[in-house]
Amino acid sequence: MNRTARGDGGGGGGEVKLALRGVSMVFQGDAGRVPTLDAIDLEVRRGELVCILGPSGCGKSTLLNIVAGFIAPTSGEVRIDGEPVRGPDPRRIFVFQERGVFPWLTVEGNIGFGLGGLPGAERRARIDRYVELVGLRDFEHTYPHELSGGMKQRLEVARALAVEPDVLYLDEPFGALDSITRLTMRVELLRIWEAERKTILFVTHDIEESVQLADRVVVLSARPARITRIVEIDIPHPRDLSSPRYLELRDGIFEEIGVAHRI
């Protein structure tokens, strides 16, 4: 239970973008109280990519929804740029699995959804830029139900990026994709992150995914979630997935979570 001692771990300086202080959540379920988050303390620096890793049902989505302002915690608080979070905000966009795209809008309509306030030409240019960035050129007038899962996911990321937020929240964004598409999506996410340098909170239950993407991996326990460890992934991108350091870090997390990595 040395979580707090290591809670603020991780190397490098940099300005704190997002800070969680003692965030706890207890749901009132049909069968009584469901303690879901237990005093989560965490700091994320500007431009950092942090993965939140934990078993299914431990409370990862709950945590991300609290940080995004969709639900209020039972106790504790979230501050972004020093300001307490009081609700969702277009400066910080939540990317749901591809289910979040609006099926009644075309690719173009989806990407432009948050750009109502811009003058026409600028809006056009912005849409164009992000269509290009996520590789959906020639699909501008296509409706989501005619796109593959991977394309829908990229569309949702483009819709989020188009409003130029400074934080992205991704909740198991690639969970519904096949393993090959998932790998290419990770490469694309890293490419976009390197180009735009957003602060990213990325929730996943996939150990490999977290070690491939993150600057730091925040390991959560089973419900009620506590931070058991924060692992700094000190390998520069592009990461060699067979390098000794990668395997060492990955296996360390496997051990931490207490699952065998031999099948």
Ligand X SMILES: Nc1ncnc2c1ncn2[C@@H]1O[C@H](COP(=O)(O)OP(=O)(O)O)[C@@H](O)[C@H]1O
Strand partners, 80: 18, 83
> CB–CB of 216/51 below 8 Å?
yes
Nearer to Mg ion, 109 or 175 (CB): 175
Residue of 25, 51, 93, 207 that binds another protein (CB under 8 A) = 93
Q: Which residues bind Mg ion (CB under 5 A)?
A: 61
Q: Pick from 16, 34, 72, 247: which binds ligand X (CB under 6 A)?
A: 34
Find out whether 220 and 53 touch, Cβ atoms under 8 Å.
yes
Residue 24 binds ligand X, judged by CB under 6 A: no
Could you give the angle at which helices 179-196 and 149-162 cross, rounded to 10 degrees? 20
Q: Nearer to ligand X by C-beta: 54 or 112?
A: 54
For another protein, the binding residues in 143-202 under the rule CB under 8 A are 143-145, 163
Only one of the segments 59-67, 104-112, 151-159, 181-189 lies at the binding site for ligand X (rule: CB under 6 A); that segment is 59-67
Using CB under 6 A as the binding rule, whether residue 27 contacts ligand X is answered as: yes
Q: Which of 23, 43, 62, 73 binds ligand X (CB under 6 A)?
A: 62
When the beta carbons of 62 and 110 are compared against ligand X, the nearer one is 62
Among 23, 44, 51, 60, the residue binding ligand X under the rule CB under 6 A is: 60
Residue 120 CB, nearest approach to another protein (Å): 18
For residues 59 and 112, which CB has a smaller minimum distance to ligand X in the complex? 59
Contact of residue 114 among another protein, Mg ion, ligand X, none (CB under 5-8 Å per partner type): another protein
Residue ranges in contact with ligand X by CB under 6 A = 27, 29, 34, 36, 54, 56-62, 223
Residue ranges in contact with another protein by CB under 8 A = 68, 70, 87-90, 92-94, 96, 99-100, 102-105, 113-114, 143-145, 163
